[in-house]
Chains A and B, each alone.
Chain A
Amino acid sequence: MILQQLIILGKASRAWLERLGRAYILFAYMVWGIPSIFRRFHLFIQQVYFLGVFSFLLILIAGFFVGMVMGFQGYHTLAKFGAESSLGVVVALSIVRELGPVITALLFAGRAGSALTAEIGLMKVTEQLASMEMMAVDPVKQVLVPRLLAGIFVLPLLAAIFSAVGILGGEFVGVAVLGVDSGAYWSQMQSSVDIYNDILNGIVKSIFFGLITTWIAVFEGYDTVPTSEGVSRATTRTVVYSALSVLALDFILTALMFGEH
């Protein structure tokens, strides 16, 4: 009985490891195919449109709300110590370092990542990928590489927009609603937020997040079992795996970047 369970466990882990292996092989192949993008630059622009412009409004709204919430929460915590004037620092640091890159990546995985998986999965179901191969066009270079690169390019920009709007949202609540001095909000922020340690690290984080979410999305689409059920499962997996990987990767990157201070 236990033996049987162990066999099932072994089978499942082997299947999982095989998938992981295929994901790495696909990644290596995509990296190898990156130079081909210069011949098909319009495809990259097209994907920047689908991944970036379509997520734009979502990020704008989400960023403003998160900033406002941070304004309220930060104010009430700081008011206990009479340090309301540091509100700008609290809002800016938490958004630029953590919330901006992470929430943007989570929203991106839900909005753009799932769409990518479904799109590529459907292209597989309708034999479009196979037909490209038979037309002597490599679907990895034609379909996957432009999407991967666009994801890596778009996410840092979205995260920057999220952070900027979030800080404005924090200012709106802190200054206009709760009466923190506007000068203190900005000047304390400027003296405490470092261009390298905080802003640049946040951007580096979001580049990694863009890489991992788009990689998972295109892999899940490319590796779909070509049925309608397969596509819906792959789409769900994209969102779940992306979210978990973003959070885990965030921990690792944070430990590397801020661990020693």
Chain B
Amino acid sequence: MLNNTKLDLWVGIFVAVGVLALLMLALNVSNLKTHAGDGVYYVTARFENVSGLKVRSPVMLAGVRIGQVETIELDPESLDVLVRMSIASNIATIPIDSMAGIYTAGILGERYVGLEAGIEEDFLIDGSNIHRTNPAMVLEKLIGQFMFNKVEE
């Protein structure tokens, strides 16, 4: 048998590498960094339609990822959809009149919430509401409208 110190050393190395691999999976591979924590604040937006949007879909500002969707809930009274999203705290200067829309990355890509910066001097803070929103475009609806217009012509 190996002497004990050498054995302990190898076991130590093995366990350290294993834990490092776990850390890499957690920090580099997964969305842990963008998960709820101190580093984010929450804002809510009300949409007419969010078709295709999912929890953990990205939130982008000017094409850069700044956060993700946390919850999607239907408001039983207005039948609107309330989307709560988390935004990294270092992005603290988004004007309060910014507009949120639901877009598609590429023709088949996934849905994301896109923010377009407004002009107000006040900024979105934790708990703010985004009032100006654009609903998701539903492809079938658009095609239907297009065909209908063609027929009219």
Asked if the two chains touch in their complex, CB atoms less than 8 Å apart, one says yes
Query: Chain A's nearest CB lies how many Å from the CB of B86?
Result: 13
CB interface residues, B 1-44, toward A, < 8 Å: 2, 4, 7-8, 10-11, 13-15, 17-22, 24-26, 28-35
- Whether the pair B32, A195 counts as a contact (CB closer than 8 A) is yes
Q: A195-B31, A199-B30 are in contact. Are A52 and B14 (CB under 8 A)?
A: yes
Question: Are A191 and B11 in touch, CB under 8 angstroms?
Answer: no
Size bracket, chain B contacts? 20 to 34
Contact A190 B31 (CB under 8 A): yes
Q: Does B119 contact A (CB under 8 A)?
A: no
| Chain B binding surface, main DSSP class | helix
Q: In the assembled complex, which residues on chain B have CB atoms less than 8 Å from the CB atom of A191?
A: 31, 34, 56, 58, 65, 68
Using Cβ atoms and an 8 Å threshold, which residues of chain A touch B20? 164
**A45 contacts partner chain B, Cβ-Cβ < 8 Å:** yes
- CA distance in complex: A236, B21 (Å): 32
Tell yes or no: B108 within 8 A of A by CB: yes
> Which of A49, A96, A160, A198 contacts B11, CB < 8 Å?
A49
Instruction: Check if A83 is an interface residue, CB within 8 A of chain B.
Output: yes
- State whether A199 touches B65 (Cβ < 8 A): no
Interchain CA distance A198-B18 in the complex, whole Å: 18
The answer to whether the Cβ of A53 comes within 8 Å of any Cβ in the partner chain is yes
Residues of A within 8 A of B35 (CB): 195
Chain B hits for A180, CB < 8 A = none
A49-B7, A191-B58 known; A186-B15 Cβ under 8 A: no
Quick check: A92 and B14 within 8 Å, CB to CB?
no
| Minimum CB distance partner of A162 in chain B | B21
Tell me, in angstroms, the Cα distance from A190 to B20 when the chains sit together: 17
For the complex, is A243 an interface residue (Cβ under 8 Å from B)? no
Residues of chain A with a CB closer than 8 A to B19's CB: 157
Task: Take A49-B7, A96-B25, A187-B65 as given contacts and tell me if A157 and B18 are in contact as well, using a CB distance cutoff of 8 Å.
Answer: yes
Q: How far does the alpha carbon of A160 sit from the alpha carbon of B105 in the complex, in Å?
A: 32
Give the size category of A's interface with B.
20 to 34
Whether A194 touches B30, Cβ cut-off 8 Å, given contacts A53-B14, A164-B25, is: yes
User: A191-B31, A195-B30 are known contacts. Are A49 and B18 too (CB-CB below 8 A)?
Assistant: no
**A157–B58 touching, CB < 8 Å:** no
Q: How far is the CA of A135 from the CA of B6 in the complex (A)?
A: 30
Whether A190 lies near B29 (C-beta < 8 A) is yes
In the assembled complex, the Cα of A36 lies from the Cα of B58 at a distance in Å of 50
- Complex: how many Å from CA A198 to CA B11? 27
Chain B residues lying within 8 Å of A45, measured Cβ to Cβ, are 7-8, 11
B13 to chain A, nearest CB (A): 8
Instruction: Digitize A133-173: 1 where CB-to-B-CB distance is under 8 Å, 0 elsewhere.
Output: 00000000000000000000000111011011101000000
Please provide the chain B residues from 37 to 76 with a CB less than 8 Å away from any CB of chain A in the complex.
Answer: 56, 58, 65, 68
Known: A157-B19, A160-B22. A199 touches B29 (CB 8 A): yes
A188-218 vs B, Cβ < 8 Å mask (1 yes, 0 no)? 0111111100110001000000000000000
Of the A-B pairs whose beta carbons lie under 8 Å apart in the complex, a sample of 16, sorted by A's number, is A49-B2, A49-B11, A52-B14, A81-B108, A157-B21, A157-B22, A158-B18, A161-B17, A161-B18, A163-B21, A164-B24, A193-B29, A194-B30, A194-B31, A194-B56, A199-B29
Chain B residues within 8 Å of A, Cβ to Cβ: 2, 4, 7-8, 10-11, 13-15, 17-22, 24-26, 28-35, 56, 58, 65, 68, 106, 108-109
Beyond A53-B11, A96-B29, A158-B18, list 6 extra A-B contacts (CB 8 Å): A83-B109, A160-B25, A161-B21, A164-B29, A194-B30, A198-B30
Q: Which 5 A-B pairs have the closest CB atoms?
A: A157-B18, A164-B21, A160-B21, A195-B30, A195-B32
